[in-house]
Structure 1
Amino acid sequence: MDLGGGGGSNPKVDEDDFLESGGNHHDSSSHHHQHQRYFSSAAVKITLLFVVVGLTCLVLNQSAYPTQMFQRSYTFSEPKDSLRGNISSPSCTAGAMQHNVSSSSSSANDNNNLEIILRAAAMADNKTVIITTLNAAWTEPNSIFDLFLESFRIGNQTQNLLKHVVVVALDRKAYSRCMEVHLHCYALTTAGVNFSGEAFFMSEDYLKMMWRRIDFLRIVLETGYDFVFTDADVMWLRDPFQRFYPDGDFQIACDHYWYNYTDLNNSPNGGFNYVKSNNRTIQFYKFWHTGRDYFPGKHDQDVLNMIKFNPFISRIGLEIRFLDTAYFGGFCEPSKDLDLVITMHANCCIGLENKIHDIKMVIDDWRRYMALPSGTERNLNSTSWTVPRICG
């Protein structure tokens, strides 16, 4: 392994050569030569010590070891290595985090520096942001992006949350549009990939976009920020932070909420989740992203449904919580009571125009609901949705 900054690789340190250079062969001909060999030996020992420490930190923080837990089938095996040692090395972790963030944004100028943008968007705790990803097709005027922003403006106590949203633009057009209407915009480009057009469900571009998103969110966690990730087709109608579980590392909405909030048999949807930055979630996102290679052709949500039962999850101590569709609903399973709803997601709906049509109906339903006097009259007159229509 070449750890130096020069062009050649470092020579291999042989143990026998090291011992010999350490002065085991005495030479009584010169006291000066003895001192020379002594200092040479000390220098070699010190150098070797730094190399060993550096390699230890490097190994502990590489994401490669989660790949050993995947089998090239749909059956997973328990990790054989000790994960606890990897998780409990904060001194090494801090250096790795800083290196990863720097390398991911080293080519960006200050206007597109991820750490600066996250810091500017952070909430009062200085560590929580709201993140969405967009391409050109979703940022066209009167498209998904405008409806997304509108939901914050007409929601119940959601207006203030808008200043904490970071829009991650996947192409130049989306970035330009974001800069026109929003405060916090980050340009995330991928060499050799054009994400500007509509990425049809399960197409090659769609899959690349989904996995690029997972990898980016891992970087955000390594930067030290908690986040709520939200698809732009999620309408924010109330403040969700009051409904998150205080003991959850990774909290996620559901297509279908079948059981209690800790039951892994619920059907998660990757379009809305709240994630706390810690070693458990960082290792989880690395493990999740690695699944792309072991389940080719599957998107991130399919892989999540597979790995959520893997022993790796319990080994690292990750606390997963599932969000009830009574509060965090969607077209798959609409929340039935408008007095409770927090978010409404245009899931189970394929096609950009179909999503736009039914999301506009969500906005209209919500406006009518908010126009009613609060209290009994509001409850009696409007407690459910007229959607989904085309998406249903």
Structure 2
Amino acid sequence: MMIRKAAMDDKRVILTEVNEAFSAPNSMLDLFLESFHNGEDNITHLLDHLVIVAMDQKAFEKCKSVHHYCYLHEDVGSDLSSENVYMSKAYIDLVWTKVRLWQLILEQGYSFLFTDIDVMWFRDPFRHISVYADLTIATDRFFGNPEDHSNHPNTGIVYAKPTEKNIEVLKYWREARQRFPTTNEQTVYHEIKYELSSKFDLKIQYVSTEYWGNFCQLNKNFTKLATFHPCCLVGLEKKIAQIKIMTEEWKKYKSISLKS
């Protein structure tokens, strides 16, 4: 079983999803994997615990040529292979597949750290996950208190423990889609986060953008950043261009820090 092979000794696994558009040559998949090799503290070993879920056959073939744990998601319904327009039906179908995937992983007894394929890794993001939290979520905007629901969540990075509580939370989250049928999983979470906290006594940790950064609340303090997500940018080409700029800035930072 692939998850068992990829998991760490404590049954943690790293997950991401990719489709044809994001796995094309010199596209997001290549940049994502490259970021581990450019990272600090030898984070390349984390690739041994990464499972890439391909949403179509071409993405699966590309994945197999560059990585050893690739899984073809064969039951996705819509054609999710192209670069889907933000908030189109295909886009919404694509982003909701990950919540179902998370539930399946928890049901098998594994913790997961899910990362969108356009998140660049500079350092180990596990360092910023507190043991108290049931669910840990990145933020678009962070206002100082990691337990405050006024923080703006971003489901581009999510960590969850394999508890019955979390399984029920994900079921509730998925069912809530019926109340908000034309929007994505992140917006639905934002709408129901107070319900989740009260109904399930859910302990949620929101991670500062100082550590899990983005373009919504831009912070380029490379002494602290563990990951960087080009959210608040629309369009694959624009994201790729900005990630390449960010990658070069990171390399310059590393070269200077090694000399000092």
Q: Same fold (TM over 0.5)?
A: yes
The answer as to whether partners of 1:328 and 1:343 remain within 8 angstroms in 2 is yes
Of residues 2, 23, 30, the one that matches 1:139 is 23
What residue is the counterpart of 2:85 in the other structure? 200
- Following TM superposition, where does structure 1 have runs of at least 4 consecutive aligned residues deviating by more than 4 angstroms? none
Deviation at 1:123, TM superposition (A): 1.0
The residue identity in structure 2 corresponding to 1:119 is: R
Q: Any unmatched runs of 5+ in structure 2?
A: none
The answer as to whether partners of 1:328 and 1:344 remain within 8 angstroms in 2 is yes
Deviation at 1:333, TM superposition (A): 1.4
What residue is the counterpart of 1:17 in the other structure? none
Local SS of the residue matching 1:273:
strand
Q: Using a 3 Å threshold, how does the CA distance of structure 1 residues 191 and 363 change in structure 2: closer, same or farther? A: closer
What residue is the counterpart of 1:178 in the other structure? 63
Q: Deviations over 1:180-217 (max 9, x none)?
A: 11010111123542111111110110001111211111
Q: CA separation in 2, counterparts of 1:237 and 1:204? A: 33
Matched, 1:257 2:142: yes
Deviation at 1:262, TM superposition (A): 0.3
Q: Using a 3 Å threshold, how does the CA distance of structure 1 residues 347 and 265 change in structure 2: closer, same or farther? A: same
Q: Deviations over 1:233-261 (max 9, x none)?
A: 10000011122111111000100001300
Local SS of the residue matching 1:308:
helix
In the alignment of these two chains, the number of paired residues is 259
Q: Taking CA–CA contacts closer than 8 Å with sequence separation of 6 or more, which of the two structures ends up with the larger relative contact order? A: 2
The answer as to whether partners of 1:334 and 1:344 remain within 8 angstroms in 2 is no
Q: Any unmatched runs of 5+ in structure 1?
A: 1-115, 378-392
The residue identity in structure 1 corresponding to 2:32 is: F
The answer as to whether partners of 2:144 and 2:208 remain within 8 angstroms in 1 is no
What residue is the counterpart of 1:242 in the other structure? 127
The residue identity in structure 2 corresponding to 1:369 is: Y
Point out the structure with max Rg over C-alpha.
1
The answer as to whether partners of 1:171 and 1:187 remain within 8 angstroms in 2 is yes
What residue is the counterpart of 1:361 in the other structure? 245
What residue is the counterpart of 2:200 in the other structure? 316
Of residues 284, 297, 300, the one that matches 2:185 is 300
Deviation at 1:374, TM superposition (A): 4.0
Q: CA separation in 2, counterparts of 1:340 and 1:180? A: 33
Of residues 113, 119, 123, the one that matches 1:228 is 113
What residue is the counterpart of 2:103 in the other structure? 218
Q: Deviations over 1:84-142 (max 9, x none)?
A: xxxxxxxxxxxxxxxxxxxxxxxxxxxxxxxx1100110122x1000000000000010
The answer as to whether partners of 2:55 and 2:76 remain within 8 angstroms in 1 is no
Q: CA separation in 2, counterparts of 1:192 and 1:276? A: 28
Between stretches 235-244 and 351-360, larger displacement belongs to: 235-244
Q: CA separation in 2, counterparts of 1:192 and 1:155? A: 36
The answer as to whether partners of 1:329 and 1:344 remain within 8 angstroms in 2 is yes
Q: CA separation in 2, counterparts of 1:192 and 1:246? A: 37
Higher share in strand: 2
Q: CA separation in 2, counterparts of 1:268 and 1:169? A: 25
Of residues 156, 159, 172, the one that matches 1:271 is 156
Q: CA separation in 2, counterparts of 1:156 and 1:239? A: 8
The residue identity in structure 2 corresponding to 1:281 is: N
What residue is the counterpart of 1:120 in the other structure? 5
> How well do the aligned residues superpose, as a CA RMSD in angstroms?
1.2
What residue is the counterpart of 1:26 in the other structure? none
